[in-house]
Amino acid sequence: SSGAGDGPASSDDPLTAITASSLTPTEVLGTGPLGEKSATVSSSELSAADLASIKAKSIKVGIVMQTMDIEWSTEQVRGIKDQVGALGGTVINVCDGQWDTTKQTACIDNMITQKPDAIISIPVDDVSMAPAYARVSEAGIKLIFIDNVAKGLKFPSQYQGMVTSDNQGNGAFAAAALAKYIPKNGVVGILDFGVDFFVTKERMRGFQAWMKDNRPDITVKVHEFQDPSKAGDDAANFLTANPDVQGMFTEWEVPAVGIITALRGQGKTLPITVVNVASDIALDLASGGMVKAIGAQRPYDEGVAEANFAGRAIIGSTNPSYLAFPAEPFLRNNVLSAWDDVYKSAAPSAIQDACKSGICGPAK
Amino acid sequence: MSEQYVSTTEKASRGVRQRLAETDQPLFLYGAFLLLIIGFTVANPLFLTAGNLLNILNQTALVTIMAAGVALVIITGEIDLSVGSVLALSGVSAALFMNNFGQNWFLGALVGILVGASVGFINGILTARLLIPSFLVTLGMLSIARGIALIMTGTAPVLVTNATFWSVFAETPFLGIPAPIVWTIVVIIIVWVLLHFSVFGRRIFATGGNLDAAKFSGINTRAVKISVFLISGALAGLAGVIVAARGHAIRPDAAAGIELDVLAAVILGGTSLFGGKGKIYGVILGSLIIGILNNGLVLMGIDPSIQLTIKGALVIIAVAFGRR
Amino acid sequence: MSEQYVSTTEKASRGVRQRLAETDQPLFLYGAFLLLIIGFTVANPLFLTAGNLLNILNQTALVTIMAAGVALVIITGEIDLSVGSVLALSGVSAALFMNNFGQNWFLGALVGILVGASVGFINGILTARLLIPSFLVTLGMLSIARGIALIMTGTAPVLVTNATFWSVFAETPFLGIPAPIVWTIVVIIIVWVLLHFSVFGRRIFATGGNLDAAKFSGINTRAVKISVFLISGALAGLAGVIVAARGHAIRPDAAAGIELDVLAAVILGGTSLFGGKGKIYGVILGSLIIGILNNGLVLMGIDPSIQLTIKGALVIIAVAFGRR
Amino acid sequence: MINQNGPVEPLLSLRDIVMRFGSVQALRGADFDLLPGEVHGLLGQNGAGKSTLIKVIAGVYKPTSGTFTIDGVEQQYSSPRASRDAGISVVYQSLSLIPSLTVAQNLFLGIEPTTLGIVNTRALNSRASEFLELHKLPLRPEQLVSSLTFAYRQLCEIGKALVKDARILILDEPTSSLSKTEEPILFDAVREATAKGIGVIYVSHRLSEVFELTDRVTVFRDGNNAGVFNTADVTIPQLVEVIVGEKLAKSVSTGGTSLSVRPPIAADASVALELSNISNDVVKGVNLSIRRGEIVGLIGSIGSGRTELLESIFGVRKLKSGTIRCDGRDVVIRRPQDAIGRGIKLVPEDRHSFGLVVDHDIESNTAMAMLPLLRSFNFLFKSAESKAFATKIVTDLKVKAPSTSTKVNKLSGGNQQKIAIGKWLGSDTKVLLLDEPTAGVDVGARADIYKIIIDLADQGTAVLVCSSDYDELLQLCSRFAFISDGAIRASADRSQVHEEKDLHQILEASREELPHV
Ligand SMILES: Nc1ncnc2c1ncn2[C@@H]1O[C@H](COP(=O)(O)OP(=O)(O)OP(=O)(O)O)[C@@H](O)[C@H]1O
Ligand SMILES: Nc1ncnc2c1ncn2[C@@H]1O[C@H](COP(=O)(O)OP(=O)(O)OP(=O)(O)O)[C@@H](O)[C@H]1O
Ligand SMILES: [Mg+2]
Ligand SMILES: [Mg+2]
């Protein structure tokens, strides 16, 4: 039915002439665990004095992730490792919590056993992991959080900094971009992760707030899913039940790929916006596919900042309690330079090929 | 002689009730199946549209393809838990091969399927030759194959840019039927002939029915087991190729946990975990029932937590119903 | 029709000779166990410190407790895939009960364990009375229990604020040993006596060893099966209580997928999936080997993808090694 | 000819028992009485309903209709446990032991000595040990049943029934694999039981045993009584007539020495199978050659290694040394597949473990051993030919079954055995190895099987047959080899042997010559 199949062709794509940064919030939307505003990105840079004393310590850092099966984690770890190396220290270990609080608790305990100077970690769950994280400071180890702070932990006694990206801001960007494709009184669908998880809830909040404030005419239909590996099926079934949907948003790249796959299977196209970049959705974006905008994080840069925070904590300097990297917007017209920002390397050749006509703008 | 030894009349007159009691699950599954379809159609008329039915078939394609292979393994009395990881490893291998060696869609698919078959072969050797319980072999392989896929890709998705590959394995509709469904039909026909009409099929049943008796009858039970693992691996490889073609990319963490769905389809279809018993049409029904549940409950707009609960209950009820 | 006793000596006749050839796994497992310990100690001397060993025991507590129950189920020839979800449902129930009915730690724990036992009881009834294959019953229950836990909590974690509850189930060290380890020891002793020294234990082995023979010997095999499912559920309930106490909160999606770890521990410990065979010390060894692998590989600082690969390979090698 | 019981009240009495399995009517209004202190033989062709009646008494099946009293009190139970509580103890035709438990644990399963729910293992083992000694059962309490060979399992099964203080002891073909040496163990136990007033039901196809042991016999035919006799009042031929029906009786041999002696095979017939000094852990330096057309009987007592010798030839057991020559050529046989490829076939003694897939239908079982012959285009299964072959086996061997798609576990024990033999008859056989080929087979069908074996031999097949039934060996064989402790100690030609006693004597004599026994 609806206008789904005859969405705007790329020549008159409403985003062609738009500068990506014009769709992003002017400041970080998300607030810290204490309601505080984010520090600036530059606050993560080390002073010469700090740098010297950190280098003198040859710091040892442990990393505990929520999963190591995704590129985002790999990039975070790469950033941390590079920077810890640059600080003359070593990452003694990376432990994979496999999305399970019991496994991540084991990771924390195993890490404490090895007595690093600091642990950098993203909690699988901010509530039920709290006692495990409390043991880190008890063992005299510094703790830097990624993305989310375990509930009830005190700054700076129990943790010494938190680095994330502006998830709300990314959600808002995705909303602003998607809205360009939706006619008045149109309908958008959200494929929402139906489990209490801090980061996805933040993105959802940013998206919905933007819609409410800026396009109250649009009807938002939310479909919850719980198993990311079946998100594609969920998307297909949701779109079958709701043929009036004219655009889709989802909270990260895995369900986005599911939506694309589902739509291809049904022979339909819809504009899709999403948070978190990966090569597959970037390629779709670059080649004028269904993905129209990606609000990206900068996991590598975050990793660098986390390493700096850890170094500072170890030498006893203070970090800001909350640092969020602003949204990094991807539109088709800036894929190559945005890619450079996020990955610090040239885009894969397939993406470059898709960009041959110059449509993706220059690389950095 | 007072007894009629083999009498066709007696056979014909065997009560329907007895036949029902004797046959394995699949027959009754038709009932469960029909009830589900009726129920969901009443709940949402969209359910019974051609588009949605193709939808369901498309969604169940992967599980059906892998379940056909896993059913063979289970009928020999073994188990294969590694298919989800093999899918990922095969898909990733196909994609990387194409990206590095000249983008030939056919060779890429071949590599994917061969990688799957090789992993299956190793599973088979470890099970049949070293006599390690297949549960442990394939549980170990589940980690190994996934680990290798993650290492090969550095956890990043691998892009697939060959348009022929896309269309052969995911897109080109053949008589209006999307490619994954066509592949499923091809696989089902091959496995059906193999299992129910070939000598090899007899060997599979005998091996699982009574391993020792099969050996004592001259059946090379090791070769049979190795072959079914190989087939199961190759089909998981094909599934990986389809996933890569569908997504125009494949992630090394693709299809994690799908083994439980595959096993559910196989067992729901009346295949005995103890071996020696099973029917391909049962596997198809099992897989479709799961697919219909997933689709129908979403179409009804039910909250996912409640969906999960209902789905579990319906699986049990479907079987209980068949046991009456 | 009283066809319930249709004589199938299927299981009894399955691979008698093969079983003869099989060595009792646990014995050799000692070897694998020692080799692992030596290897990891050489790689990182921290491995063999008291602190780290307690660590390992603490981390394996959950799997060991649940594996003890699941082993009983498997020895009767059935399977229990629902323990991870039952853990979550029980933990969530305990926490919600305390939060809503006066924060009594004892009643909270009791509720948790009883919820687990009840789910187990239902599993048992469906398996033993309605004769639905336990694989499907407990696979369905895996969804149902998880779904209910998600519904009860609206997917959010539930806080546990009772400090006595924390300390009894997660913290207070008894002779320097953390509570979860103490609970594990208690469970192991009870299950050990039950399985290897009690009349009930004999019935468990008989039921799984040859169901018909057990019936012919006057054993109420249904009651036996229902009981083992109940025990398995209750122990998963205890595990849920421990998780809730450890985290001072419990997520409804806690321990998803842990059933594969639990099964791996049980099977690695030499329990036969075909029933009738198993030893509690095997289960402990199996569980410890998995715990040691998880801990030791992390201590060696190996990349997680490589860890995954090595872990899978080591599980297979450990068993292969014992088959020589 | 019906015995009047006089004042004695029957211990057990069944009236008008009907038992249906779907459309199969296993019992069609059967009656049965058991007096205290008697041994009551239950006879009948395969599939006559003997085992079914026993399972009704044992509470395994609830009869479709009919009444059933113990000591005049009507019984309603329908569980094995209830029947056990009523004092009934059964040895089932297909064994009902738990392989993963020890002998002692099996003997006392469900009646373990306990303190507070904990099994007193020491008491268990010492009681078992006492019991085994008392009944001279050659078993050790702590042996795992899974490590026992079939005959020992059968002994264990018998022990399990004897260990309970039963009022009614039921034995369903308990001696199908026991040899003359072990029979006394059972017979003594039975006599001891009857002396205590226990009633014994004894099912057997070995009529000589029946005459030795029973006071009365009931014959079943087709699920109905065909007569009740005082054993003393009938002869074997008369009984056979009742069992098989009058018309058939003439063609059935009735045992004894009245049959034609199979002539020795011409000395120039070529040797089909030659064993030279083959050894492994059980078999010790066996030399044996069998000519084409020759039927050799292998005689030994339980545990002598007969089964193992056959299995060693068949490739189930590895050889440590020695060679096997087949048709004059050295052959290496590592697994049954190799043996079958050379035309060597084995009918194993334990049909449930090694002969049949009891869960599959008759047709699948008969096809299983000849799959290479049922192949078209190197791949497809010739389903019609397979059905035809199954039908032929069912007809030739008089298998009582509704159709060839009946599952084997729905057949009576003897009919299962016919399938286990029949499955080898579809392809050429050079060497046929038979281990208790007629265990559980009724007298009528036995004659058919003998005829088939002899026909095969006449066509040039070499046959090596183990049997605990010496009468069977006398009817079939032209030569005998005597085995004990894994080695062949003596041999004899058929012409040197006149009756069963002779075989027994040669065996005993050969055993006495054993240096270390
Ligand atoms: N569970 C069953 N289902 C269907 N038919 C059965 C079943 N059990 C027995 N029968 C049939 O009932 C008849 C009687 O069988 P039964 O086992 O009582 O014979 P039997 O007299 O013991 O024979 P045998 O001497 O061979 O042991 C047979 O025709 C058999 O096929
Ligand atoms: N009490 C026993 N329990 C278990 N195994 C025994 C015992 N005594 C001897 N054996 C082993 O069993 C072997 C052979 O047993 P088996 O019963 O198979 O012999 P067989 O000659 O085929 O007799 P049958 O066919 O009557 O069983 C013996 O050579 C010996 O190694
Ligand atoms: Mg019988
Ligand atoms: Mg023998």
Which residues in chain D touch residue C214, judged by CB atoms under 8 angstroms apart?
A: 98, 109
- Give the ipTM of the model, two decimals please: 0.90
User: In angstroms, what CA-CA distances link A249 with A27, A181, A187, A256, A258?
Assistant: 22, 12, 11, 8, 12
A102 lies within 8 A of chain C by CB: yes
Secondary structure (3-state) at D289: strand
> Residue D435 pairs with which residues in a beta bridge?
D466
pLDDT the model gives residue A278: 94
Burial of D289 (0-12, 13-18, 19+ CB in 10 A): middle
**Nearest CA-CA partner of C3 in B21, D195, D341:** B21
User: In angstroms, what CA-CA distances link B23 with A62, B196, D144?
Assistant: 59, 16, 36
What lies within 8 Å, CB to CB, of D48 at 6+ separation is D220, D221, D222, D223, D412, D442
Q: Is residue D206 pLDDT above 90, yes or no? A: no
pLDDT the model gives residue B3: 35
Q: Assign D308 a pLDDT band (cuts: 50, 70, 90).
A: very high
pLDDT the model gives residue A4: 34
Which residues in chain B touch residue D307, judged by CB atoms under 8 angstroms apart?
A: none
Which residues in chain A touch residue C242, judged by CB atoms under 8 angstroms apart?
A: none
- Report the alpha-carbon distance of residue A43 to residue C34 in Å, rounded: 50
In this structure, chain C runs to a length of 324
Q: Which two tokens stand for residue A320?
A: 């800001």
B183 lies within 8 A of chain D by CB: no
* D438 min Cα distance to partner chain C (Å): 20
Name the residue of D145, D282, D304 to mutate for ligand 2: max ligand atoms within 8 A of Cβ: D304
Amino acid at D329: R
**Nearest CA-CA partner of B296 in C116, A237, C233:** A237
User: Where are chain D's structural domains?
Assistant: 12-250, 271-513
* D403 min Cα distance to partner chain B (Å): 5
CB contact under 8 A, D367 and B215: no
Tell whether ligand 1 has an atom less than 6 A from the beta carbon of residue D21.
yes
D119 lies within 8 A of chain C by CB: yes
- Report the alpha-carbon distance of residue D69 to residue D27 in Å, rounded: 17
The answer to whether domain D12-250 and domain D271-513 are alike in fold is yes
The topology (CATH level 3) of D271-513 is Rossmann fold (3.40.50)
Name the residue of D135, D152, D178, D435 to mutate for ligand 2: max ligand atoms within 8 A of Cβ: D152
Q: What is the DSSP string of A31-95?
A: --TTSPPPBPGGGGSPPHHHHHHHHHH--EEEEEES-SSSHHHHHHHHHHHHHHHHTT-EEEEEE
**Nearest CA-CA partner of C59 in A106, A66, A123:** A106
In this structure, chain A runs to a length of 364
Amino acid at A247: G
Going by their DSSP bridges, the two strands D487-493 and A90-96 should be labelled as: unpaired
Q: Longest Cα pair distance anywhere in chain A, in angstroms?
A: 67
> Which of the 8 DSSP states describes residue D178?
-
Q: Is residue A11 pLDDT above 70, yes or no? A: no
Which residues in chain C touch residue A200, judged by CB atoms under 8 angstroms apart?
A: none
Centroid of ligand 4 to alpha carbon of D347 (angstroms): 11
Tell whether ligand 1 has an atom less than 6 A from the beta carbon of residue C1.
no
A291 close to A356: Cβ distance less than 8 angstroms: no
B189 lies within 8 A of chain C by CB: no
Interface subset of C 202-221, CB within 8 angstroms of D: 202-203, 205-206, 208-210, 212-220
Q: What is the per-residue pLDDT across D325-384, written as a single tens digit (0 to 9) for each?
A: 998 899 999 999 999 999 999 999 989 889 999 999 999 999 999 999 999 888 899 999
Q: Assign B9 a pLDDT band (cuts: 50, 70, 90).
A: very low
> CA torsion sign, A75 to A79 to A82 to A85?
negative
**Nearest CA-CA partner of A271 in A350, A169, A156, A186:** A186
Centroid of ligand 2 to alpha carbon of D149 (angstroms): 6
From C22, C155, C309, residue closest to B144, measured CB to CB: C309
What whole-number percentage of chain A has pLDDT above 90? 81
Which residues in chain D touch residue B13, judged by CB atoms under 8 angstroms apart?
A: 23
> Which of the 8 DSSP states describes residue D411?
S
Q: Assign A22 a pLDDT band (cuts: 50, 70, 90).
A: confident
CB contact under 8 A, C246 and A131: yes
Name the residue of D14, D51, D205 to mutate for ligand 1: max ligand atoms within 8 A of Cβ: D51
**Count of H-run helices and E-run strands, chain C:** 15, 2
* pLDDT (average), residues C99-105: 93
Q: Assign D317 a pLDDT band (cuts: 50, 70, 90).
A: very high
Interface subset of B 234-263, CB within 8 angstroms of C: 257, 260, 263
Give me the total of CB pairs closer than 8 Å, taking one residue from chain A and one from chain C: 98
Amino acid at A91: V
CB contact under 8 A, A237 and B55: yes
- Report the alpha-carbon distance of residue D178 to residue D306 in Å, rounded: 12
Name the residue at shortest CA distance from atom 8 of ligand 1. Answer: D410
Name the residue at shortest CA distance from atom 2 of ligand 1. Answer: D410
Tell whether ligand 1 has an atom less than 6 A from the beta carbon of residue D415.
yes
Name the residue at shortest CA distance from atom 12 of ligand 2. Answer: D303
Residue with tokens 């136990």: D189
Q: Is residue C7 pLDDT above 50, yes or no? A: no
Which residues in chain C touch residue A101, judged by CB atoms under 8 angstroms apart?
A: 243, 247, 251, 254-255
Residue of B nearest to D316 (CA): B216
> Which of the 8 DSSP states describes residue D8?
P
Name the residue at shortest CA distance from atom 25 of ligand 2. Answer: D307
Going by their DSSP bridges, the two strands A90-96 and A60-65 should be labelled as: parallel
Of A213-227, A285-299, C23-37, D315-329, which range is least confident? C23-37
* A1 min Cα distance to partner chain B (Å): 12
Q: What is the per-residue pLDDT across D384-416, written as a single tens digit (0 to 9) for each?
A: 999 999 999 999 998 999 999 999 999 999 999
C165 close to C266: Cβ distance less than 8 angstroms: no
Tell whether ligand 2 has an atom less than 6 A from the beta carbon of residue D139.
yes
What lies within 8 Å, CB to CB, of D122 at 6+ separation is none
Of B5-19, B298-312, D175-189, D325-339, which range is least confident? B5-19
For residue D178, give the ligand nearest its CA. 2
Q: What is the per-residue pLDDT across C213-224, written as a single tens digit (0 to 9) for each?
A: 999 888 999 999
Q: What is the per-residue pLDDT across B257-292, written as a single tens digit (0 to 9) for each?
A: 899 999 999 998 889 888 999 999 999 999 999 999
Centroid of ligand 3 to alpha carbon of D61 (angstroms): 14
- Report the alpha-carbon distance of residue D302 to residue D485 in Å, rounded: 10
Give me the total of CB pairs closer than 8 Å, taking one residue from chain B and one from chain C: 160
Exposure string over A137-169, b if 16+ CB within 10 A, otherwise e:
beeebbbbbbbbbbbbbebeebbbbbbbbbbbb
What lies within 8 Å, CB to CB, of B304 at 6+ separation is A194, A224, A225, A226, C150
A171 close to A24: Cβ distance less than 8 angstroms: no
The topology (CATH level 3) of D12-250 is Rossmann fold (3.40.50)
Centroid of ligand 1 to alpha carbon of B215 (angstroms): 27
- Report the alpha-carbon distance of residue A216 to residue A184 in Å, rounded: 10
Q: Is residue D254 pLDDT above 60, yes or no? A: no
- Mean pLDDT score of chain A, rounded to an integer? 92
A288 lies within 8 A of chain B by CB: no
- Report the alpha-carbon distance of residue D218 to residue D12 in Å, rounded: 14
A43 close to A49: Cβ distance less than 8 angstroms: no
Centroid of ligand 2 to alpha carbon of A207 (angstroms): 79
Nearest ligand 1 atom, CA D411: 31
CB contact under 8 A, B155 and A69: yes
Q: What is the DSSP string of C113-163?
A: HHHHHHHHHHHHHHHHTS---HHHHHHHHHHHHHHHHHHHHTTS-EE---H
Centroid of ligand 3 to alpha carbon of A223 (angstroms): 63
From C14, C142, C151, residue closest to B305, measured CB to CB: C151
* pLDDT (average), residues C23-28: 55
pLDDT the model gives residue D249: 53
* B268 min Cα distance to partner chain A (Å): 20
Q: Peptide bond preceding D237: is omega within 30 degrees of 0, i.e. cis?
A: no
Centroid of ligand 2 to alpha carbon of D378 (angstroms): 42
Which residues in chain D touch residue C77, judged by CB atoms under 8 angstroms apart?
A: none
- Report the alpha-carbon distance of residue B46 to residue A187 in Å, rounded: 19
Centroid of ligand 3 to alpha carbon of B220 (angstroms): 32
* C219 min Cα distance to partner chain D (Å): 7
C5 lies within 8 A of chain D by CB: yes
pLDDT the model gives residue D248: 56
pLDDT the model gives residue B8: 31
